[in-house]
Amino acid sequence: MRLGPDITRVAALMGEPARANMLSALMGGQALTAGELAREAGVTPQTASSHLAQLETGGLVTRRVQGRHNYFALAGQDVAEAMEHLALLADRAGHMRTRPGPRDPALRRARVCYDHLAGELGVAMLDALVAQGRIVDAEGSLVLTEAGHAFARDFGVALAPAGRRPLCKACLDWSVRRSHLAGVMGAGLLSRIYALGWARRMEGTRIVQFSAPGLAAFEGVFGRV
Amino acid sequence: MRLGPDITRVAALMGEPARANMLSALMGGQALTAGELAREAGVTPQTASSHLAQLETGGLVTRRVQGRHNYFALAGQDVAEAMEHLALLADRAGHMRTRPGPRDPALRRARVCYDHLAGELGVAMLDALVAQGRIVDAEGSLVLTEAGHAFARDFGVALAPAGRRPLCKACLDWSVRRSHLAGVMGAGLLSRIYALGWARRMEGTRIVQFSAPGLAAFEGVFGRV
DNA sequence: CCCAAGGTTCGCCGACCACCGAAGCGTCCG
DNA sequence: CGGACGCTTCGGTGGTCGGCGAACCTTGGG
Q: Which residue has the higher pLDDT, B5 or A13?
A: A13
- Looking at the structure, tell me whether residues B110 and B66 fall in a common domain: no
Same domain, B18 and B112: no
B37 touches chain A (CB under 8 A): no
Pairwise CA distance, residues B91 & B87, whole Å? 6
Please give the single-letter amino acid code of residue B18: A
As a whole number, mean pLDDT of residues B92-110 equals: 73
Among B189, B181, B187, B174, residue whose Cα is nearest residue B136: B181
Residue nearest to nucleotide C19 (CA to C1'): B47
Task: Supply the pLDDT for residue A201.
Answer: 86
> Do A182 and A133 share a domain, yes or no?
yes
Distance from CA of A205 to the nearest CA of B (A): 5
Chain B nearest C-alpha distance from A160 (Å): 23
What confidence score (pLDDT) does residue A222 get? 92
Cα–Cα distance for residue pair B97/B109, rounded to 1 Å? 18
Q: How many beta carbons lie within 10 A of that of residue B186, not counting itself?
A: 30
Average predicted confidence (pLDDT) for chain A? 87
Identify any residues that bridge with B33 across adjacent strands, giving them in sequence order.
B71
- Nearest CA distance, B130 vs chain A (angstrom): 6
In a domain, A65, yes or no: yes
**B60 & B129 share domain:** no
B51 CB below 7 A from strand C atoms: yes
Task: Name the residue closest to C27, CA to C1'.
Answer: B68
Asked if B138 is an interface residue toward chain A (Cβ–Cβ < 8 A), one would say: yes
In tens, the pLDDT along A78-132 reads 999 999 999 999 998 877 765 455 567 788 889 888 888 988 899 899 989 998 9
In this prediction, residues B103-114 reach a mean pLDDT of: 83
Residues B116 and B56 in one domain: no
Which is it for the CA torsion B148, B178, A144, A179, positive or negative? positive
Distance in angstroms, CA of A100 to C1' of D16?
A: 34
For residue A206, the enclosing domain spans 101-222
pLDDT value, residue B1: 45
Q: Give the total number of structural domains in chain A.
A: 2
Q: Tell me the pTM.
A: 0.71
Determine contact: A165 vs chain B, CB below 8 A: no
- How far apart are alpha carbons A122 and A129 in whole angstroms? 11
A59 contact B CB<8A: yes
Going by pLDDT thresholds of 50, 70 and 90, the confidence category of residue B102 is: low
**Chain A residue closest in CA terms to B130:** A139
Are A121 and A171 members of one domain? yes
Task: State residue A1's pLDDT score.
Answer: 46
Lowest average pLDDT, out of A171-185, A200-214, B57-71, B142-156, goes to A171-185
Q: Which nucleotides on chain C have any atom < 7 A from a protein Cβ?
A: 5-11, 17-23, 26-28
- Same domain, yes or no: B65 and B115: no
A39, A84, A86: best mutation site toward chain B, by most B Cβ within 10 Å?
Answer: A86
Do A140 and A217 have their domain in common?
yes
By percentage, how much of chain A surpasses pLDDT 90? 53
Task: Specify the nucleotide whose C1' lies closest to residue B44 (CA).
Answer: C20
A86 in a domain, yes or no?
no
Same domain (yes/no): B108, B192: yes
DSSP letters spanning A2-55: --SB-HHHHHHHHTSHHHHHHHHHHTTSS-EEHHHHHHHHTS-HHHHHHHHHHH
The integer distance in angstroms from the CA atom of B18 to the C1' atom of C18 is 9
A82 lies in a domain?
no
| Last residue in a domain, options A36, A58, A75 | A75
Residue A205 forms contact with B (CB below 8 Å): yes
User: Do residues B112 and B70 share a domain?
Assistant: no
Nearest by CB to residue A4, choosing from B6, B7, B107, is B107
B170 inside domain: yes
- Residue A140: pLDDT band (50, 70, 90) is low
**Is residue A91 in a domain?**
no
pLDDT at B101 > cutoff 70:
no
* Contact map slice: B 75-114 vs A, CB within 8 A: 78-79, 81-83, 85-98, 101, 103-104, 107
Q: How confident is the model at residue A148 (pLDDT cuts 50, 70, 90)?
A: very high
Residue A89 lies in a domain: no
Q: Do the domain assignments include residue B21?
A: yes
CA–CA min distance A73, chain B (Å): 15
Q: What is the CATH number of the domain that holds B25?
A: 1.10.10.10
pLDDT at B195 over 80: yes
* Residue A46 confidence (pLDDT): 96
Please state the rounded mean pLDDT for residues B17-31. Answer: 93
pLDDT at B222 (0 to 100): 92
Model confidence pLDDT, tens digit, residues A171-217: 777 777 677 898 889 999 999 999 999 999 887 778 899 998 999 99
Does residue A43 approach strand C to less than 7 Å at its CB? no
Minimal Cβ distance to B97: which of A5, A24, A89: A5
pLDDT band at A16 (very low <50, low <70, confident <90, very high): very high
More confident residue, B141 or B207: B207
Q: Per-residue pLDDT averaged across B207-225, rounded?
A: 90
Question: Burial code of A154-169, b = ≥16 C-beta within 10 A, e = fewer?
Answer: eeebebeeeeeebbbb
Does residue B31 form part of some domain? yes
Same-domain status, B116 and B177 = yes
Flag if B95 and A4 touch (Cβ within 8 Å): no
Average pLDDT (A152-159) is 91
> Could you check: is the Cβ of residue B50 within 7 Å of any atom of nucleic acid strand C?
yes
Task: Using a 7 Å CB cutoff, list residues 65-124 of A near strand C.
Answer: 68-70
| Partners of residue A210 on adjacent β-strands | A199
Q: What is the pLDDT of residue B165?
A: 78
Q: What are phi and psi of B73, to 5 degrees?
A: -145, 160
- B58 and B165 within one domain: no
As a whole-number percent, the residues of chain B with pLDDT over 90 amount to 59
